[in-house]
C-alpha cells in the first residue's frame, strides 16, 4: 500500500464524517511664445494706365440715349479651406482567442454542506479576460468546473471525468472540503498537477502533485499562535479546538508542536470540544479561568458566530480571541455587529477588505464579473493568475506533460497578495503560503489589525 493510499484511507472517513455534520472589481501642446504675424505685403507700383486720370466719356448726341456702362465683374469666389487631414485609425482591439482550447479542470464544492463557489468563478474570470485578449498564442483556456457536492463519490467521479475523459492539462483553483484526500492518488498516477485555490483537508498540503495558494487551517494555527506570542507579546497563550475530527487531530497537534519548536514556548492551556456541535462557551470559560491572555480558536462559520456571541455575553473582551480564516467573512461581521468587537482572524492573503492598491486588479475583476469579494475569490484569482504566467513560459506545445514540467520548475513566484513566495517545484509536499495578516471586528466590519505580514521562520 502506497503512502498516498495509506494517508487517504486514514483521513477520508474522518473528513467525510466531519463535513457531513457541517452540512445540517494625446500628446500635449508645445510650450513657448507664439510666433509674430507675418508683415503685410508692400503695395505694387502703379502702371501708367492706372496713374493717368480717366478721360470723361464723350457727351451723348442730342436725341440719343447713352449706352449704359457695363457692370463690374462679380467678386471672385473665396478659395475653399483645405481639407483636414484624415483622423488616425482607432487602435486595433486584440482578437479574441479562437484556437484549440487548452482544457483545465476544477473540482469545487458548489452544493452540499460547506460551499466554495467564489474560487472557481474567480479562476474562470481570469481565464475569460485572457481569452478576450487573444488567449495563449491564440488558444483560449477552457475551465471545466465540476461540482463534487461535498461527497467522496462526487469528487472521485469528477476527477475521473476531468483526468481520463476530458484530458485536462492541469487542475486550477479547486476549492473543496475533501477533494485532495479523495483524488491526490489519482493525480500522482496520471501526472496531473493542481494549483489549489483553497486547500482544506491535510492531504492538500501533503501531496507532491498539489500546491495550494492559501495558508490552510494547519499553518493557520501555527501562524496565529506565533502572532499572539511574538507580535502581540502575550505570555499565556492558549488553544481551543472546535474542529474535532479524530484522524485530523495529528495535523492540529503538529501545528501546535511547530509553534513550540519555533518559539521555545508552551501553551498555558489547551482543550478540545467533544463534538462538532458542542457549544464553545464552557470551553471559553475554562480558558478564562486558566488565565489565558490570548486564545487561538478554530472552527467554521457557525463556530465563529457562537464564539463572537459568547465573548459579549460572558464578558470575555479582556482576552484576545483569534479565529482562523473561516471566521473572516462579511456574513459573520454583519451578523455579530458590535457583539463581536475585538474578535480577530487570520486572512491568509492581503485582507480582501483592504484598500491596498495591490488588490485593485483583483477587486475590479471581481466587481465586473459579479463575484463576491472573499478570501475564496482571492484564492481562485491567484491560482489562475499563476497558471496563466506558467503557460506563458511553456516552450512548444502545451500538453499535460509540458505543463507538468513547467510547474515542477516553478521554485518561486512573487506576488504582493501573499506574505511568502508561492512555489510548486519537485517536492514531496507543498505548503508555500507560510504567512498571514490579521483582521479584527469593529462594529460589524472587519478591519486590518496590523498592516504587516506575520511570517513563520524557516
Q: What number is the average pLDDT over the span 66-87?
A: 50
Range of the domain at 167: 96-215+356-427
Question: Could you write out the DSSP letters of every residue in 41-76?
Answer: PPPPPPPHHHHSPPPPPPPPPTT-PPPPPPPPPPPP
Is the pLDDT reported for residue 326 higher than 70?
yes
pLDDT tens column, 421-451: 999 999 999 999 999 999 999 999 999 998 9
Both 172 and 234 in one domain: the answer is no
Mean pLDDT for all residues in the chain: 85
Give domain status of residue 8, yes or no.
no
Least confident of 107-111, 247-251, 277-281, 337-341: 247-251
Over residues 257-277, the mean pLDDT reads 95
Q: Are strands 141-147 and 171-172 parallel, antiparallel or unpaired?
A: unpaired
| Residues 182 and 330 occupy one common structural domain | no
Cell of 83: 481639407
For residue 69, is it within any domain? no
Do 447 and 302 lie in a common domain?
A: yes
pTM: 0.80
Count how many domains the chain has. 2
Residue 301 has a pLDDT of: 85
Are 429 and 205 spatial neighbours (Cβ–Cβ below 8 Å)? yes
Q: Does residue 204 fall inside a structural domain?
A: yes
Report whether pLDDT(185) > 50.
yes
The confidence band for 50, taking pLDDT boundaries of 50, 70 and 90, is very low
pLDDT band at 87 (very low <50, low <70, confident <90, very high): low
CATH number, domain of 262, equals 3.40.50.2300
pLDDT score recorded for residue 342: 95
pLDDT higher than threshold 80 for residue 131: yes
How far apart, in Å, do the first and last CA atoms of the chain sit? Answer: 32
Model confidence at 23: pLDDT above 60: no
Based on the fold, state whether residues 165 and 210 are members of the same structural domain.
yes
Query: Residues 321, 382: one domain?
Result: no
With bands split at pLDDT 50, 70 and 90, how would you rate the model's confidence at 300?
A: confident
Q: Is the predicted pLDDT of residue 324 greater than 70, yes or no? A: yes
Query: Is 71 within a domain?
Result: no
Same domain, 266 and 165: no
Residue with the bigger pLDDT between 247 and 215: it is: 215
408 part of a folded domain = yes
Task: Tell me phi and psi for residue 417, to 5 degrees.
Answer: -75, -15
Pairing of strands 194-196, 435-442: unpaired
Amino acid at each position: 500500500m502506497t503512502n498516498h493510499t495509506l494517508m487517504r484511507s486514514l483521513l477520508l472517513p474522518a473528513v467525510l464524517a466531519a463535513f457531513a455534520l457541517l452540512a445540517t472589481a494625446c500628446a500635449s501642446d508645445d510650450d513657448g511664445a507664439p510666433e509674430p504675424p507675418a508683415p503685410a505685403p508692400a503695395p505694387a507700383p502703379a502702371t501708367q494706365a492706372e496713374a493717368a486720370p480717366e478721360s470723361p466719356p464723350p457727351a451723348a448726341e442730342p436725341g440719343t440715349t447713352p449706352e449704359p456702362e457695363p457692370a463690374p465683374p462679380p467678386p471672385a469666389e473665396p478659395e475653399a479651406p483645405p481639407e483636414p487631414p484624415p483622423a488616425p485609425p482607432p487602435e486595433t482591439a486584440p482578437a479574441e482567442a479562437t484556437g484549440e482550447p487548452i482544457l483545465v479542470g476544477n473540482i469545487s464544492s458548489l452544493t452540499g454542506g460547506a460551499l466554495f463557489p467564489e474560487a472557481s468563478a474567480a479562476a474562470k474570470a481570469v481565464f475569460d479576460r485572457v481569452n478576450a485578449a487573444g488567449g495563449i498564442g491564440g488558444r483560449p483556456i477552457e475551465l471545466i468546473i465540476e461540482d463534487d457536492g461535498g461527497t467522496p463519490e462526487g469528487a472521485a467521479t469528477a476527477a475521473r471525468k476531468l483526468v481520463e475523459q476530458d484530458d485536462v492539462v492541469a487542475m486550477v483553483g479547486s476549492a473543496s472540503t475533501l477533494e485532495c484526500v479523495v483524488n491526490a492518488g489519482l493525480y500522482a498516477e496520471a501526472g496531473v498537477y493542481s494549483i489549489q485555490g483553497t486547500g482544506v483537508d491535510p492531504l492538500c498540503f501533503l501531496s507532491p502533485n498539489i500546491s495550494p495558494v492559501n495558508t490552510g487551517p494547519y499553518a493557520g494555527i501555527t501562524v496565529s499562535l506565533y502572532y499572539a506570542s511574538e507580535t502581540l507579546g502575550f505570555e499565556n497563550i492558549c488553544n481551543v479546538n472546535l474542529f474535532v475530527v479524530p484522524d485530523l487531530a495529528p495535523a492540529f497537534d503538529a501545528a501546535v508542536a511547530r509553534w513550540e519548536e519555533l518559539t521555545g514556548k508552551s501553551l498555558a492551556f489547551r482543550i478540545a470540544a467533544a463534538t462538532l456541535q458542542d457549544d464553545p462557551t464552557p470551553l471559553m470559560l475554562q480558558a478564562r479561568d486558566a488565565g489565558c491572555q490570548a486564545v487561538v480558536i478554530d472552527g467554521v462559520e457557525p463556530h465563529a458566530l457562537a464564539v463572537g456571541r459568547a465573548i459579549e455575553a460572558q464578558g470575555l473582551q479582556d482576552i484576545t480571541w483569534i479565529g482562523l480564516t473561516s471566521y473572516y467573512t462579511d456574513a459573520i461581521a454583519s451578523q455579530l455587529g458590535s457583539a463581536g468587537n475585538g474578535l480577530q482572524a487570520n486572512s491568509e492573503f492581503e485582507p480582501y477588505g483592504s484598500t491596498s492598491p495591490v488588490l485593485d486588479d483583483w477587486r475590479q475583476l471581481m466587481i465586473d464579473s459579479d463575484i463576491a469579494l472573499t478570501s475564496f475569490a482571492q484564492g481562485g484569482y491567484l491560482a489562475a493568475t499563476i497558471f496563466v504566467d506558467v503557460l506563458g513560459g511553456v516552450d512548444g506545445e502545451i500538453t499535460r506533460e509540458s505543463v507538468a514540467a513547467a510547474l515542477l520548475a516553478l521554485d518561486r513566484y512573487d506576488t504582493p497578495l501573499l506574505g511568502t513566495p508561492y512555489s510548486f517545484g519537485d517536492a514531496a509536499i507543498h505548503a508555500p503560503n507560510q504567512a498571514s495578516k490579521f483582521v479584527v471586528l469593529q462594529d460589524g466590519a472587519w478591519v486590518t489589525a496590523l498592516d504587516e505580514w506575520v511570517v513563520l521562520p524557516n
